[in-house]
Amino acid sequence: MSSPVPNPVSICVIGSGYVGLVAAACFADMGHKVVCVDNDEARVKLLCDGGMPIFEAHLADLLNKHRGRNIIFTSKLGEAVEKSEAVFIAVGTPQGDSGAADLSYVEAVVSEIARSISNYKVIVEKSTVPVYTNDWIRRVLYRHGVEPSHFDVVSNPEFLREGSAVVDFLHPDRIVVGAGNARAAGVLRRIYAPLSDGSYYGKKSALPGPCSEKAPAKLLVTSAQSAEIIKHASNAFLALKISFINAVANLAEDVDADIEDIAAGMGLDSRIGPKFLRAGLGYGGSCFPKDVAAFHWVAQQRGIDFQLLQEVRKINETQREVFFNKVLSALWTLRGKRLTALGLAFKGDTDDIRESPAIEIVKKLLKAGAMVTAYDPAAMTRAKEVIPPAENLKYAADLYEAAKDADAVLILTDWKEFAKIDLAKLNRAVHFPIVIDGRNLYKPAEMQKHGFTYVSVGRSANYQAQEGKPRKPKA
């Protein structure tokens, strides 16, 4: 159990998705009392009973540790707001048809919060929202008759990576607090004090990570507008790095250079750094696609031509076509071909398939007439809801079962498991020794040593001379 916090805060977190559930669990581990609210009764019951609605490292452990003590789950928003000093809004902000973030869920929650405010509360934007959302939240509260002295609105954006969200929350690069006055900022300082003063890292039960008592998390206080832009600008810049290295990869491949060497050389420059310089299928997930689109929309609304963001999106979309064409080049035709798809999540260490390049590739393969057998360590249940099993689509129990008698193996997600394949065993399983790697998990020389034709991103394809030799007949 967590050691008592000298000055704990009663916290309400509205929303039990990735952001809300991780925030609630981490606040509880820091020593605060947390009520996590969701209007989905089935989800609340699942959480109360010890179930897990999402796959995320360390999250189940923290919830099991604090459930019923530092954290409780409920669907009664009004009661939770009344008992809390800080109310974090962590509901979805999906992308609308115009590219703008759909803030209807945020507005609905704020309207409900307004009915339960009788004394001072700090309303915190934790969802990713466009600039000036803080002003709109304030207006909605005013319209519902809430006294100005009873609330402040603060922006506290999250910078979490799915698959490492819990560590990212408890060991952040920075904590950004966009507050309009010292009183509101003071409440957020109290909440994050265990991280910013280092006391959390001194506990035996603290989750290990890069921060420590001597090097605690850094807290930056800005205006609400600056905090809102920091979130969108950060995600847009990371998406830019991914699109940039993919554009360079296409050039590198055309001139017989190696994008892995190029990325390593660039990443050694401290001004650039190695992170997000991984060529592949492009970005996906619930954040980058919608945040880049929303940031571009915000700029357009203010009369600013932020054309760079449009190019980032264009390169990312094109990258899936580039990979699909690699498959075509390696196999000539796809109709009737047996293909193995390794990976369905948009990245490793998560079961999230939202905007997944892997899912898009599988759909294109099926449309082209291929027969696909897919495997993912965590995302198959979610994938089956989007692309159900069929005569031309099977789901396998492991990667070697998925590869049995395959004409080619496609690596679509960067799971660690896929970087440690027993290549000799894989060669025995497949019909033709062809690997088309959309994540550059292997070195061409290693694949050549094990008898594979190897096609990757931003590197010359390595075709085996023996590929034309007869192989065992298909089953």
CA-wise closest residue to 377 among 412, 344, 403: 344
Q: What is the CATH number of domain 231-315?
A: 1.10.1040.10
* 454: phi then psi, degrees, rounded to nearest 5: -130, 120
Distances 296 to 233, 293, 309, 348 between C-alpha atoms, Å: 10, 5, 6, 28
Kindly state the tokens that stand for 210: 């890069």
Neighbours of 156 (CB within 10 A): 23
Which residues are CB-contacts of 30 (< 8 A; sequence separation ≥ 6)?
2, 5, 170, 191, 194, 195, 200
Spell out a b/e string for 108-142, using b for 16 or more CB atoms within 10 Å of the CB, else e.
Answer: ebbebbbebbeeebbbbbbbbbbbebbebbbebbe
Question: So what's the pLDDT on residue 4?
Answer: 66
Q: What is the mean pLDDT of the chain?
A: 93
Decide: residue 329, CB within 10 A, 0-12 exposed, 13-18 middle, 19+ buried.
exposed
Which DSSP string do the residues of 311-363 spell out, in sequence order? HHHHHHHHHHHHHHHHHHHHHS--TT-EEEEE--SSSTT----TT-HHHHHHH
Question: So what's the pLDDT on residue 273?
Answer: 96
Question: So what's the pLDDT on residue 130?
Answer: 80
| Architecture of the 322-468 domain | 3-Layer(aba) Sandwich (3.40)
State the pTM of this model.
0.90
Kindly state the tokens that stand for 99: 């590219």
Question: So what's the pLDDT on residue 1?
Answer: 44
Question: So what's the pLDDT on residue 3?
Answer: 52
Residue type, 450: H
Q: Write out pLDDT tens, residues 239-265.
A: 999 999 999 999 999 999 999 999 999
Furthest CA-CA distance within the chain: 80
Residue 170 near residue 203 (C-beta atoms within 8 A): no
Question: So what's the pLDDT on residue 93?
Answer: 81
Determine the Cα–Cα distance for residues 401 and 392; give it in Å rounded to an integer: 16
Residue type, 147: E
Catalytic residues: 287
CA-wise closest residue to 75 among 115, 48, 111, 108: 48
CATH superfamily for 10-222 is NAD(P)-binding Rossmann-like Domain (3.40.50.720)
Which residues are CB-contacts of 159 (< 8 A; sequence separation ≥ 6)?
168, 172, 173, 174, 176, 231, 234
Determine the Cα–Cα distance for residues 350 and 55; give it in Å rounded to an integer: 6
Strand partners of residue 375 = 342
**Residue 3: helix, strand or coil by DSSP?**
coil
CA-wise closest residue to 20 among 295, 286, 327: 286
Determine the Cα–Cα distance for residues 4 and 30; give it in Å rounded to an integer: 9
Kindly state the tokens that stand for 202: 């001194």
* 167: phi then psi, degrees, rounded to nearest 5: -65, -40
Query: Treating both helix axes as pointing N-terminal to C-terminal, what angle do 224-254 and 133-143 enclose, rounded to 10 degrees?
Result: 140
| Dihedral sign from CA coordinates of 42, 287, 31, 170 | positive
- State how far Cα 290 lies from the chain centre: 12
Determine the Cα–Cα distance for residues 225 and 153; give it in Å rounded to an integer: 11
Length of the chain: 475
**Residue 386: helix, strand or coil by DSSP?**
helix
Instruction: Cite the residue boundaries of each domain of the chain with CATH code 3.40.50.720.
Output: 10-222, 322-468
Determine the Cα–Cα distance for residues 92 and 127; give it in Å rounded to an integer: 7
Q: Write out pLDDT tens, residues 419-443.
A: 999 999 999 999 999 999 999 999 9
Strand partners of residue 409 = 340, 435
CA-wise closest residue to 91 among 21, 162, 170: 21
Which DSSP string do the residues of 52-111 spell out, in sequence order? -SS--TTHHHHHHHHBTTTEEEES-HHHHHHT-SEEEE-----B-TTSSB--HHHHHHHH
Per-residue model confidence as pLDDT tens for the chain (475 residues): 445 677 899 999 999 999 999 999 999 999 999 999 999 999 999 999 999 999 999 999 999 999 999 999 999 999 999 999 999 999 988 777 777 778 898 999 999 999 999 999 999 999 878 888 899 999 999 999 999 999 999 999 999 999 999 999 999 999 999 999 999 999 999 999 999 999 999 999 999 999 999 999 999 999 999 999 999 999 999 999 999 999 999 999 999 999 999 999 999 999 999 999 999 999 999 889 989 998 998 999 899 999 999 999 999 999 999 999 999 999 999 999 999 999 999 999 999 999 999 999 999 999 999 999 999 999 999 999 999 999 999 999 999 999 999 999 999 999 999 999 999 999 999 999 999 999 999 999 999 999 999 999 999 998 875 554 445 555 4
Instruction: Cite the residue boundaries of each domain of the chain with CATH code 1.10.1040.10.
Output: 231-315
Determine the Cα–Cα distance for residues 90 and 300; give it in Å rounded to an integer: 26
Strand partners of residue 67 = 71
